[in-house]
């Protein structure tokens, strides 16, 4: 009796933690909104704000209608005679197809016997819905940053619905539900500890959003005035407010931490790694930019030559915006493995991401891909590197850790429980401990090479997720582009979307001024 | 021993959850502050910010002094011989009168035997104080939005003290403590499951604030320049910053979610309904405005005709501010019933609120009531509709659910426990299960019509709460108006309150500029 | 078995609470960033933002490298044969020296037998790291406010590393780990209940930051244009945006509440006291300023005389910025004792702090110390008063409470367990209850004077912490000043740091404007 009450308490606490942190992840929508609003010109601010708000509003209804069904539908098979869950549907490892409109809320968390629990879903039906909805909304929001200042409102609505209702949920089914990445086909003979591991959505949230952002960026083309069509010269288009960007970034930091906190496990290690990885990445990129002599002072055209030459001495800059974006990239890279990484591994990954972020940003500009808020460099780079390096720098209690691999003597198949081997055949079939049966065709002494297969499976997983997103995005954006509904007309783009589409400038002139500086009587 | 430790743990966890979420609800003060600051002109920004901050500061001291006593005072009667709580004071179902200045912190949560628990108060004495204080502060803040840009500072202080120290706490006593709405008089012969149900303050927070805002708006009159006294023409007075409004709205969203999370029960369902209801309402209103051809382009007077005719093609607008306000109205409408509603019911209510919001906003403008930030349309409309429709769309496990009512055969009085009736007389007196004894004058087979009585009681409850607030507000604002201390003088209103009253403009000219664009030497 | 599961659950919940609230405390970095950004001129906004962000980024790496080791290193001594913790290292009560780079994560919370638990560390190794890191980052950030608008970027990096990596961690070792303040030397014969008590860092976070801010302020000198060198006249340098300041302040309020919530004990009482104390302080200071006829209308130089004389009637101001800062000072003053104070004691302390804040602000200005965001008056004044008065107004269940002291008859040494004495020698050696053995040289009936010794020890503690910080800060800032790397050159200061050092103005002119008000064709 007491036992069950304790379990109930635990389940309740778990659900509460899940939902509370999901709220903070939902708050990330405002982080993205402000970050992007600060990074665009004042004439397009209302437009970017409404898009971010709609990501949440439309996303909620779409995820309710079908997104959740595609991602988590029919996870467990209920025996309608006994009322118990007897097994899981393995019929469809590609896409879910139940619980449309949150129907049949008889979902139970997949912790039944004889089925290995690989991704923990301890929340209630509605709790899991809410938690996963906010991740879908996050993925969609990433795209809207890349299309800022030029995307047609209708086109945005279309891709928003498809991204949060279909593209992202399918990858969630693969990676977090009972899809093929989490439960690899038996025929591949993967070592028992190997499956796709992504703790907080480095792949199926950030990489999905980042690659879709890249595709959409290419289709929509750069903003007018960003690259000169004749000379090929590049012009910086500054955002209108760094305080908004700064606040947005801080909200995102807290949101990343909450992403980790949501599932309530390994939280302390997770936030420690997130903080260290983000810091390392941000400082690395800021240093690179500071050491680079090529940084252009884009603002110089507003300062008279006479002043410049005399006054401005420092010729290198400590870029705030680079620090912000690279820190975010570092945090993204921690999402996949923050629960298992060594803290020093987190720092190393952060440094790598800091370099990669800088390189990708430059490459994009070089190829005249205009990503106004750095969505691609932050989310795609961070997501992919994070998924790949998570098993490499994992702590030694994880048998798939590359750096702590003890060699074939240890990581092998054994009949003898007393051997040094990690996997004995006595584990065969004992799925309740989260391990699949060893493959029948293995023989005693076979080396499993767990870390290397784990790395390969992570690689395959992230490639599959990227490929799926590309395959879905290209037709989508191609059609929108072909129908000429992807981009606002040039007049509107030059003058600003706020007034043309929303009738609400961000800072109406009529409302400015402190009112007391008029000359003479009013 | 272990049992009691577990209970203590649970109580502790509960209190922690309560307080943590109360902090986020307190954070709503900043949401209101920013939302309202964004919606007023720059010359009145400091004024609206200080008022919102004072709502929290003054509210805390007032709620400590008397508000908590009026709301929750003398809930339980302590037997000073045994030290146990033997029963509850039913002497006063109108107003509490103990615990002034948080004295006698021997308060115990009302979970003693022989008394039905209808509103769960599991927090500690200080925890319940803090949680309920933030709700009182919220109600007060709603009013300050309606009076923005013209209310006299002293008048604001007076109504702030009275609203958070007296008007709102009394309605809390009725609806959340041991007042007559929660424990209806026996003589009414209400079905046992019927009492006033308001989970997160749709009535005694939002409707109270909304109706007081309406009363105050009428007394103070519209802002100068809003309606032309001669031609009757209406002028839009735009707010000075949409990013502030956007951030404020997002903070409010999180605050609404935290309102639900605070009591730690049905949280996942609650946040799901809140999100769906808010989204449905926001999208509905945005669509209505978009489809309406009557929307005026108020900004057109600043654009030369030649440009307009050629450049601006879309003649309908996607209004960001309508989306924000209507989403908030939808969330308000979820407060009363988010813990019991069907998700699809939440969407239906949201759509209804979306229409009602739009209609009320237009009606107010038509009658020349100037509510600068939409307090009335958001909080009054959302609150009232939410309280009324909560029992209608409740899930089927709630016997008062209208849509799931199974008819008289089920919802009736029975002596036989095996009958299909919901209420058997064997329940009589068994108050520990949260049910009152069936009324002695009922006979076997009497149909209870629970859902309809529930609806009627909700209706009576919300009418009573509105009536109480009106009865208190009218003399208050009448006196302030009569004494000519309600509104700043016209000179100050035209030029702005910030400098006249606070000496601190929101954006001092002396502090603006990036410093490097001066011609010549400094 | 169940028992241990319950304990494990509790530990897990505890860690989760710790980390979740630590995230909100980390969010305070954005609160400081916005508060300070709003309080400086637009030309230095990016500079203050990047410094606040770096406080977190650099602070994380530094605290990982050495800060945590200095603060908490080698708390428990592990017996490597049995694997158990047999005792604590009392060898070094001054500074820790283990766990550099988070190595040896075998740390266990100090709850082993035979060692009194005086500061509760129930979190996991990483959880305690993260929670304490955010406090260190907070202390550093306080300094950057005081140096705003004139500090050299490199100097900032140097003192940031030293403050969060060395100065503050050492005081944490004294006050929160196993340093000499928490475990006073036996030779002092202090009463058993007396040790340094500081619940949420009033001393080792706020007072440390505040006194370092004062030292740095003195070394760096006032901003150009703040005090006229010839006439000695004082000029107000207004901040550029009150909404940013307001939002920052609200985020700080929530952060203060989360500081209290983090350790999960006495949370309801803690937040109640924080709110009441903050409110009382804020209102007190606002009232003082309002009643003071000396307040200068600094903005008057922009208004023509003719207008002023006729229009502006109120000659006293309700200062928003004073309200904000004084409320923060009041909250700081609650940090040390919010878990033990009487609510009315919190209000009294708040009123005292309100006066002290006002006085200190004026004194600083009088002595021409230029503290742009009020760091000294907020954090030093609040921190010191809070640490000193916490035992004075403690509730009566705390034997060190001054106001509830029952006299020598009660607070004395006794052999008889039935006497009225608080401390009987039967407690001697029973350290598991958190009490030290009574000193052997005490005899029966000796009066302990616990509250007065407690006050004296608090006084000694805060003096020691301040002295330590001063001793470390003076050489640091002296060297930076002597090397002429503490302050930017005058040209840059006059024109703004953003463009000169960061190449990123906060509000680039090129990005402003709503785009549609141009005359004629574009």
Q: What is the pLDDT of residues C147-183, one digit of tens each?
A: 999 999 999 999 999 999 999 999 999 998 878 898 8
* Contacts A276 to C, Cβ<8 Å: 60-61, 64
- Contact in structure between B337 and B353 (CB atoms under 8 Å): no
Q: Is residue B121 domain-resident? A: yes
Which of C5, C153, C504 should one mutate to test binding to chain A, selecting the residue with the greatest count of A CBs within 10 A?
Answer: C504
Quick one: closest CA in B to C238, which residue?
B511
The pairing of strands B76-79 and B84-88 is antiparallel
Q: Is residue B518 domain-resident? A: no
* Contacts A101 to B, Cβ<8 Å: 343-344
**Cβ of A19 and B318 within 8 Å?**
no
Angle CA(B98)–CA(B104)–CA(B106) in degrees, nearest 5?
A: 105
What is the torsional sign of CA B369, B374, B378, B379? negative
Strand, coil or helix: A32: helix
Quick one: closest CA in C to B32, which residue?
C247
Comparing C-alpha atoms, which of C236, C252, C234 is closest to residue C39? C236
* Contacts B129 to C, Cβ<8 Å: 268, 272
Q: Which of A312-316, B77-81, C99-103, C208-212 has the highest mean pLDDT?
A: C208-212
| Chains touching chain C, criterion 3+ CB pairs below 8 Å | A, B
The pairing of strands B423-424 and B413-414 is parallel
pLDDT score at B303: 46
- Among the partner residues C271, C320, C508, nearest to B49 by beta-carbon distance: C320
Quick one: closest CA in B to C251, which residue?
B27
Comparing C-alpha atoms, which of B395, B393, B401, B387 is closest to residue B449? B401
**Cβ of B323 and A127 within 8 Å?**
no
Q: Looking at per-residue confidence, does B188 or C246 come out higher?
A: C246
Q: What is the pLDDT of residues A221-231, one digit of tens each?
A: 999 989 988 88
* Contacts C313 to A, Cβ<8 Å: none
Q: How far apart are alpha carbons A358 and A285 in whole angstroms? A: 6
* Contacts B50 to C, Cβ<8 Å: 318, 320, 323
pLDDT score at C261: 87
* Contacts B49 to C, Cβ<8 Å: 242-243, 246, 320
Contacting residues for B185 by C-beta, under 8 A, at least 6 apart: none
- Among the partner residues A264, A276, A520, nearest to C60 by beta-carbon distance: A276
Which of A141, A252, A514 should one mutate to test binding to chain B, selecting the residue with the greatest count of B CBs within 10 A?
Answer: A514
Q: How far apart are alpha carbons A178 and A73 in whole angstroms? A: 10
Count of beta carbons in the 10 Å neighbourhood of residue B393: 22
Which of B31, B264, B272, B304 should one mutate to test binding to chain A, selecting the residue with the greatest count of A CBs within 10 A?
Answer: B272
The nearest CA of chain B is from the CA of A230 a distance in Å of 26
Question: Which residue's structure tokens are 């129907």?
Answer: A103
Q: How far apart are alpha carbons C346 and A409 in whole angstroms? A: 65
Q: How far apart are alpha carbons B442 and B423 in whole angstroms? A: 12
* Contacts A491 to C, Cβ<8 Å: 522
pLDDT score at B185: 81
CA dist C387 to B501, C391, C456, Å?
A: 36, 8, 11
- Among the partner residues A250, A499, A517, nearest to C30 by beta-carbon distance: A250
Which of A142-156, A371-385, C256-270, C349-363 is the least confident region?
C256-270
pLDDT band for position A12 (cuts 50, 70, 90):
confident
Provide the number of structural domains found in chain B.
1
Question: Which residue's structure tokens are 């020890």?
Answer: C457
Comparing C-alpha atoms, which of B194, B142, B150, B197 is closest to residue B167? B142
pLDDT score at B93: 78
**Cβ of B501 and C242 within 8 Å?**
no
**Cβ of C509 and A264 within 8 Å?**
no
Angle CA(A39)–CA(A43)–CA(A44) in degrees, nearest 5?
A: 55
- With 0-12 / 13-18 / 19 or more C-beta atoms within 10 angstroms meaning exposed / middle / buried, residue A49 is buried
- Contact in structure between B432 and B113 (CB atoms under 8 Å): yes
Spell out a b/e string for C138-148, using b for 16 or more CB atoms within 10 Å of the CB, else e. Answer: bbbbbbbbbbb
- Among the partner residues A271, A313, A521, nearest to C19 by beta-carbon distance: A271
**Cβ of C61 and A280 within 8 Å?**
yes
Query: If you compute the radius of gyration of chain A from its CA atoms, what whole number of angstroms results?
Result: 25
Name the percent of chain A in helix, strand, coil, to the closest 5: 60, 5, 35
* Contacts C2 to B, Cβ<8 Å: 2
Q: Where are the alpha helices (H) located in C292-342, listed in sequence order?
A: 305-311, 320-335
Q: Is residue A442 domain-resident? A: no
**What values do phi and psi take at B104, rounded to 5?**
50, 60
* Contacts C9 to A, Cβ<8 Å: 6, 9-10, 13
Q: Is residue B284 domain-resident? A: yes
Residue ranges of E strands in B12-142? 76-79, 84-88
- Tokens at residue C344, please? 């009315």
Check pLDDT > 50 for residue C432: no
Q: Which range marks the domain in which residue B226 is found?
A: 7-294+318-411+447-510
Q: Average pLDDT over chain C, rounded to whole?
A: 84
Q: Is residue A432 domain-resident? A: no
**Cβ of C53 and A327 within 8 Å?**
yes
The nearest CA of chain A is from the CA of C304 a distance in Å of 7
Q: How far apart are alpha carbons C394 and C451 in whole angstroms? A: 10
Strand, coil or helix: C138: helix
Chains B, C: CB pairs < 8 Å: 231
Q: What is the pLDDT of residues C297-342, one digit of tens each?
A: 444 444 444 444 444 444 678 999 999 999 999 999 999 999 999 9
* Contacts A508 to B, Cβ<8 Å: 238-240, 299
Which of A60, A165, A512 should one mutate to test binding to chain B, selecting the residue with the greatest count of B CBs within 10 A?
Answer: A60
3-state secondary structure C60-71: HHHHHHHHHHHH
Which of C62, C121, C511, C520 should one mutate to test binding to chain A, selecting the residue with the greatest count of A CBs within 10 A?
Answer: C511
Q: Looking at per-residue confidence, does B123 or A220 come out higher?
A: A220
- Contact in structure between B454 and B193 (CB atoms under 8 Å): yes
- Tokens at residue C439, please? 């000193």
Q: Is residue C333 domain-resident? A: yes
**Cβ of A241 and B243 within 8 Å?**
yes
Q: Looking at per-residue confidence, does B116 or A519 come out higher?
A: B116
**Cβ of C492 and A251 within 8 Å?**
no
DSSP state of C474: H
Q: Is residue C246 domain-resident? A: yes
Which of A203-217, B109-123, B300-314, C130-144 is the least confident region?
B300-314
**Cβ of C26 and A302 within 8 Å?**
no
Comparing C-alpha atoms, which of B207, B252, B236 is closest to residue B35? B252
* Contacts A495 to C, Cβ<8 Å: 515-516, 518, 522
- Tokens at residue B455, please? 């609806």
pLDDT score at B310: 42
- Contact in structure between A324 and A34 (CB atoms under 8 Å): no
Which of A16-30, B280-294, C79-93, C192-206 is the least confident region?
C79-93
**Cβ of A318 and C50 within 8 Å?**
yes
Strand, coil or helix: B447: strand
pLDDT score at A301: 42
CATH code: domain of residue A69: 1.10.3430.10
**Cβ of C515 and A495 within 8 Å?**
yes
Q: What is the pLDDT of residues A287-301, one digit of tens each?
A: 998 887 544 444 444
The pairing of strands C413-414 and C423-424 is parallel
pLDDT score at B376: 94
pLDDT score at B317: 84
**Cβ of A242 and C56 within 8 Å?**
no
**Cβ of B499 and A514 within 8 Å?**
yes
Tell me the angle at which helices A320-335 and A343-366 cross, rounded to the nearest 10 degrees.
120
Average pLDDT over residues A114-120: 64
pLDDT score at C27: 92
Q: How far apart are alpha carbons B455 and A77 in whole angstroms? A: 39
Tens digit of pLDDT per residue, chain B (522 long)? 555 666 777 777 788 888 889 999 999 999 999 999 999 999 999 999 999 999 999 999 999 999 999 998 765 554 445 555 555 555 477 888 878 898 877 655 444 445 566 777 777 888 889 999 999 999 999 998 999 999 999 999 999 999 999 999 999 999 988 788 988 887 888 888 899 999 989 999 999 999 999 999 999 999 998 998 888 788 889 999 999 999 999 999 999 999 888 876 788 899 999 999 999 999 999 999 888 754 444 444 444 444 444 444 446 789 999 999 999 999 999 999 999 999 999 999 999 999 999 999 999 999 999 999 999 999 999 999 999 999 999 998 888 999 999 888 888 887 766 678 887 765 444 444 434 456 777 888 888 899 999 999 999 999 999 999 999 999 999 999 999 899 998 888 988 899 888 888 999 888 888 776 543 333
Q: Looking at per-residue confidence, does B226 or A315 come out higher?
A: B226
Q: Is residue C307 domain-resident? A: no
The nearest CA of chain C is from the CA of B502 a distance in Å of 5
Q: How far apart are alpha carbons C291 and C281 in whole angstroms? A: 15
- Contact in structure between C154 and C61 (CB atoms under 8 Å): no
pLDDT score at C313: 46
pLDDT score at C88: 53
Q: How far apart are alpha carbons A241 and C240 in whole angstroms? A: 13
Strand, coil or helix: C290: helix
Q: How far apart are alpha carbons B180 and B157 in whole angstroms? A: 30
Length of chain C: 522
Strand, coil or helix: C315: coil
Which of A53, A153, A254 should one mutate to test binding to chain B, selecting the residue with the greatest count of B CBs within 10 A?
Answer: A53
pLDDT band for position C108 (cuts 50, 70, 90):
low
Name the percent of chain B in helix, strand, coil, to the closest 5: 60, 5, 35
Q: Looking at per-residue confidence, does C440 or B360 come out higher?
A: B360
Distance of CA A421 to the CA centre of its chain: 37
**Cβ of C343 and B102 within 8 Å?**
yes
């Amino acid at each position: 009796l007491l036992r069950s009450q304790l379990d109930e308490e635990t389940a309740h606490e778990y659900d509460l933690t899940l939902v509370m942190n999901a709220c903070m992840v939902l708050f990330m929508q405002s982080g993205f909104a402000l970050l992007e609003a600060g990074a665009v010109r004042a004439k397009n601010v209302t437009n970017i704000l409404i898009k971010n708000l709609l990501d949440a509003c439309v996303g909620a209804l779409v995820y309710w209608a079908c997104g959740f069904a595609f991602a988590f539908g029919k996870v467990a098979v209920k025996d309608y005679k006994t009322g118990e869950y007897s097994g899981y549907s393995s019929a469809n490892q590609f896409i879910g197809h139940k619980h449309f409109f949150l129907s049949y809320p008889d979902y139970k968390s997949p912790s039944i016997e004889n089925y290995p629990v690989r991704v923990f879903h301890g929340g209630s039906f509605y709790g899991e819905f809410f938690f996963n909805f906010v991740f879908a909304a996050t993925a969609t929001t990433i795209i809207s940053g890349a299309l800022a200042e030029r995307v047609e409102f209708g086109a945005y609505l279309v891709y928003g619905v498809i991204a949060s209702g279909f593209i992202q949920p399918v990858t969630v089914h693969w990676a977090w539900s009972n899809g093929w990445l989490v439960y690899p086909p038996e025929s591949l003979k993967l070592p028992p500890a190997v499956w796709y591991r992504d703790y907080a959505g480095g792949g199926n949230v950030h990489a999905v959003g980042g690659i879709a952002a890249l595709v959409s960026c290419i289709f929509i083309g750069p903003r007018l005035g960003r690259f000169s069509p004749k000379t090929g010269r590049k012009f910086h288009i500054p955002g209108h407010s760094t305080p908004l960007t700064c606040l947005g970034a801080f909200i995102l930091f807290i949101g990343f931490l909450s992403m980790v906190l949501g599932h309530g496990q390994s939280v302390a290690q997770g936030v420690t790694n997130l903080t260290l990885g983000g810091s390392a990445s941000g400082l690395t990129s800021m240093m690179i930019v500071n050491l680079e002599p090529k940084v252009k002072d884009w603002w110089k055209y507003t300062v008279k030559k006479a002043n410049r030459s005399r006054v401005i001495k420092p010729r290198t800059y400590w870029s705030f915006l680079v620090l912000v974006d690279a820190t975010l990239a570092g945090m993204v890279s921690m999402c996949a493995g923050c629960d298992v990484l060594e803290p020093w591994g987190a720092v190393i990954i952060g440094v790598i991401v800091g370099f990669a972020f800088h390189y990708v940003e430059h490459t994009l500009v070089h190829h005249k891909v205009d990503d106004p808020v750095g969505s691609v460099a932050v989310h795609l780079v961070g997501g992919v590197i994070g998924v790949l390096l998570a098993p490499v720098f994992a702590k030694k209690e994880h048998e798939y850790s590359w750096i702590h691999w003890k060699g074939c003597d240890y990581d092998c198949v054994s009949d003898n429980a007393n051997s040094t081997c990690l996997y004995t055949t006595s584990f065969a079939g004992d799925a309740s401990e989260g391990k699949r049966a060893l493959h029948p065709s293995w023989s005693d002494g076979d080396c499993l090479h767990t870390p290397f297969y784990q790395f390969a499976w992570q690689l395959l997983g992230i490639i599959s997720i990227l490929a799926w997103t590309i395959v879905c995005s290209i037709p989508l954006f191609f059609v929108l582009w072909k129908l000429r509904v992807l981009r606002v007309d040039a007049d509107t783009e030059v003058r600003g979307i706020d007034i043309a589409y929303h009738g609400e400038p961000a800072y109406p002139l009529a409302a400015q001024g402190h009112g007391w500086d008029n000359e003479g009587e009013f």
